[in-house]
Structure 1
């Protein structure tokens, strides 16, 4: 299994070969995906920018998440991450985005959304979209690391298969 650095480097090669540019919108990971990407030399050729939208205000102000969506579903929800992914695309030069919002812990969980609940959305400027909610385990650092890896691995799989661009 590839580590995060290898995964990021391989993703970058694929994106560059396909003239695609990634943008991220992150909440619970606090820029972890962007860090993994920018740790790769030359990533400016395939990475545009990162939005770290930890607060609801940041989600609304920076990437256009609707207050109604936040109010109805909460920040950790599939409707919100879809709006985050779309907003990241519309507020950047990116052609592919990933958005993450979750509850890394140790507090903040509920019966409906326990600690480790993480919502992901991926979108492309060509209209492809994927959304998923996972229940990750472990402490705060572990949940965040698993979320970063899952976001990158899913991007890599879909770029490799050309699914986002069909």
Structure 2
């Protein structure tokens, strides 16, 4: 024998939907927020030493890519000058040679200065303890430097004294 089929009269459909609605409304609601969230503490990062060789390599790569961009800009400018005013400026080969010499000097001097800065940072970090950075996700306005508040910003100007 098969199951008996329940009739679908409008009254039974209404009873079922009211029963479902009453169950949904009667379900307890939960608040998933904490009653009191822990205070946000900033993460402190201390940089006390660096690797001068890594600084040298990164500065060489950065300055080399910057030099390629400069050579491309010089080439484009020289071609535009040759099209707009032919024979008015130096030739393309002279322009590129001078630009290549300047870029090579920039790469060598910039790399040397970056390496010296790395050594200087290591030396001063040994004396002072390094550089400390506080990282936080608080988006509020930071406190002004020196811990001074609004009263320091809105201090009245001193009155002129007669002499």
Structure in which a larger fraction of residues adopt helix: 2
* Structure number with bigger Rg: 2
Which one has a larger percent strand, Structure 1 or Structure 2?
1
**Alignment TM-score, normalising by the size of structure 1:** 0.22
User: What TM-score comes out, normalization by structure 2 length?
Assistant: 0.23
Work out which structure has the larger RCO, using CA pairs closer than 8 Å and 6 or more positions apart in sequence: 2
